[in-house]
Amino acid sequence: MKLTLELRENAGLQWVLEQLSPMSPFGKTAARDLPWYGPGEETALEAELDNVALAMELWAAGAAKAQPAEACGCGPSGLGPDDLKDAAAALRGVTKQLPLFHDIRGSFDRDPGVPFDLVELFEIKHFLVTLERLVQAYAAMPSMQGVAFPSLAEALELMDPEGRRLPTFSIVNSYHNDLAPLRAEKGKLEKAIRMTQEDKRGPLMEKRRQLAVQEDQLELEVRRMLTEKLMVYRDRFLDSMDTLGRLDLTVAKAKLALRYGCVRPALSADKTIALRGVIHPQVAEDLKNRGESFTPLDLDLGRGCTVITGANMGGKTVSLRSTVLSLLLCQCGFFVFAQSARLPLFERVELILADSGPGAGGLSSFGKEVHLLDKLLRETRGQFFFVALDEFARGTNPQEGAALARALVRHLGSLDCVALMTTHYDGVSDVAGAHYQVAGLVREIEGDEGDDPRKRIARRMDYRLLPAPPGAPCPRDALRVCRLLKLDDALMELFQADL
């Protein structure tokens, strides 16, 4: 599945990715091109989640030096306290090397007849020396599944014939039999030039120029030889870079999960979703910055369409975004922002928002909704998919919109999918598989009339999702919301009189 920028931004995945901290260029590339684990790839996903759990255990143990080792708990490694401490130190050793890598992939995308220049050879040796140090540290910790480095020992010996393991490079004499005598002669000549009067240096300078040309030719031969031999290992270099990216991304996922208290998702075999205490981290952080808190949500979804109704500003859209974000994170091998999560694997996950703006070709918001829905239904025939729709058909007249929403709920109930829809239309929940209502404006508070209207609503709003019977009428909170937002008194009188 392709994770479009619009989906990532609407769901909040882009915000999560911006909180990641991969340390190498390869990790940053891996974070931009996330894997998607679909149906049938459960084993691969579990292996990735195992790797994240292992990295979490080791990173937490390394950060808890002042605590007894058992305080971190026994994680997936099964290591005792002393071994855990050593493994945690090894992981820290790995992470110290990751920022030192430079991206040299472009150097291996070349015509074989074009030799590496000296800068490229320096970068390749620097990569090999740094990789050797990282692999040595990695070998001292429990191996992650699917994270194994191909051997580049022969390439390193080629680039470091003296075995000094310095991250520098020069064409040393041992690369060519003629280099040592030529450089010795050149050195003697340069000494003679320094000892000769300036007006008599002409013949010596010409001889030095000739030797320099010969040296350049020999160095070119060496660079061609090195290029030919190094290109034999091209696939190993590229595999190593991919492996570095995966390892780096796994550690970044672990640090993110520890920072936000994320939980490992369990995979659901019965195609149902069960979320407990789920939050949307982007919204939660915005609320925290305003001195407010996010209300965690509980949600159970089965096949077919579940409908959410509730007051304006009651968090229905956030419920959709939180659910979609949880699914996207799980299927990209992340822990999720919840107290617990049991999720199936979908071939496709989509979020269609009512306020996502006009689409291509000048479509209205309603036109874009219909276009995106039609495209999704056509492309997912025969697939198990998830779709979340926010106030579908809100942009057309209420009678037709309600009829279209009901028809869509019935249609989704006949497909192999799990769907979640918010609506203000009565009668839609009658045909839904399940119905949730936002608890709504249930708190009576006095004495805050001078405060910010949005905060006044937030204090009175209960954002929990509560199971509701099919056909339960949509809440009628518009009048109270208008009052709390201090709508013009004259308009409020007309509004109330017309209810």
The three-state (H, E, C) secondary structure of 38-93, written as one string: CCCCHHHHHHHHHHHHHHHHHHHHHHCCCCCHHHHCCCCCCCCHHHHHHHHHHHHH
Q: pLDDT above 90 covers what percent of the chain?
A: 70
In the 8-state DSSP scheme, what is residue 143?
A: P
Q: Is the dihedral of CA 217, 220, 224, 230 positive or negative?
A: positive
Least confident of 21-35, 135-149, 264-278, 461-475: 461-475
Of residues 349 and 499, more confidence is placed in: 349
Residue that has been written with the tokens 């820290």 in this structure: 92
Residues 216 and 240 placed together within one structural domain of the fold: no
Structure confidence at residue 68 (pLDDT): 39
Tokens 């009628």 correspond to: 476
Within a domain: 161: no
Q: pLDDT tens-digit profile of 280-323?
A: 999 999 999 988 899 999 999 999 999 999 877 778 999 999 99
CA dihedral 196, 199, 205, 206 (to 10 degrees): -140
Residues 323 and 409 in one domain: yes
Same domain, 199 and 248: no
10 Å Cβ neighbour count for 139? 11
Sequential DSSP letters for 373-437? HHHHHHHTTTS-EEEEEESTTTTS-HHHHHHHHHHHHHHHHTSSEEEEEE---TTSGGGSSEEEE
CA 488 and chain centroid, separation: 46
Q: Give the least confident one: 25-34, 176-185, 243-252, 466-475.
A: 466-475
**Same domain for 132 and 100?**
yes
* pLDDT value at residue 73: 37
Q: Long-range contacts of range 406-411, CB-CB < 8 Å, 24 or more positions apart?
A: 406/430, 406/431, 408/305, 408/373, 409/305, 409/307
Is residue 184 a part of any domain in this protein? yes
| Residue 258 in domain | no
Q: For residue 61, which of 92, 26, 20 has the smallest C-alpha distance?
A: 92
CATH number, position 309: 3.40.50.300
- Determine the pLDDT at residue 480: 61
Sign of CA dihedral 250, 256, 259, 260: negative
Residues 223-280 have pLDDT tens digits of 999 999 999 999 999 999 999 999 999 999 999 999 999 999 999 999 999 999 999 9
In the predicted structure, residue 121 carries a pLDDT above the cut 70: yes
- Residue 248: Cβ within 10 Å count: 27
pLDDT in the model for residue 490? 76
pLDDT, tens digit (0-9, with 9 covering 90-100), for 348-363: 999 998 665 445 455 6
Residues 363 and 470 in one domain: yes
Long-range contacts, 73-82 (Cβ 8 Å, 24+): 76/50, 77/142, 79/142
Q: Above pLDDT 70, what percent of the chain?
A: 87
Q: Has residue 485 been placed in a domain? A: yes
Confidence of residue 499 (pLDDT cuts 50, 70, 90): low
Report residue 65's pLDDT band, with 50, 70 and 90 as the boundaries.
Answer: very low
Q: What is the SS3 assignment for 297?
A: strand
CA 64 – CA 256 distance, rounded (Å): 17
Q: Indicate if 242 and 269 belong to the same structural domain.
A: no
What is the DSSP pairing of strand 417-422 with strand 434-441? unpaired
> How much is the average pLDDT of 149-175?
94
The verdict on 393 and 347 lying in the same domain is yes
Specify whether 221 is located in the same domain as 331: no
Is 105 domain-assigned? Answer: yes
Q: Residue 486 pLDDT > 80, yes or no?
A: no
- Per-residue confidence (pLDDT) for residue 63, from 0 to 100: 81
Q: How many CB atoms lie within 10 A of CB 38?
A: 18
Average pLDDT on 202-213 reads 92
At residue 9, the 3 state secondary structure works out as helix
For residue 362, the model assigns a pLDDT of 53
pTM listed for this prediction: 0.88
Q: Are residues 96 and 208 in the same domain?
A: no
State the pLDDT at residue 474. 64
Are residues 221 and 109 part of one domain? no
Coil, helix or strand for 461? strand
* Residue bearing the bigger pLDDT, 477 or 418: 418
Please give the average per-residue pLDDT across 311-340, as a whole number: 93
Q: For residues 32 and 13, give the distance between their C-alpha atoms in angstroms, rounded to a whole number.
A: 11
CB 58 within 8 A of CB 85: no
Alpha helices in 160-201, H assignment, sequence order: 179-195
Mean pLDDT of the chain: 89
Does a structural domain hold residue 198?
yes
pLDDT in tens, 388-432: 999 998 878 888 989 999 999 999 999 999 999 999 888 899 999
pLDDT of residue 39: 96
Asked if residue 479 has pLDDT above 80, the reply is: no
Cα distance between residue 152 and residue 136, in whole Å: 13
69 is in which domain, residue-wise? 5-152+233-253
Q: Are 277 and 338 in contact (CB under 8 A)?
A: yes
The number of folded domains in the chain is: 3
442 — pLDDT class (breaks 50, 70, 90): low
Q: Return the pLDDT at 356.
A: 56
pLDDT band at 69 (very low <50, low <70, confident <90, very high): very low
Q: Is the pLDDT reported for residue 67 higher than 80?
A: no
Residue 70 scores a pLDDT above 70: no
Is 296 found in the same domain as 147? no
Assess if residue 280 is contained within a domain. yes
pLDDT band at 367 (very low <50, low <70, confident <90, very high): confident
316 shares a domain with 180: no
Contact 51, 37 (CB under 8 A): no
DSSP for 349-369? EEEE-TTS---GGG--HHHHH
Instruction: Give the pLDDT mean for 30-47.
Output: 96
Domain-embedded: residue 42: yes
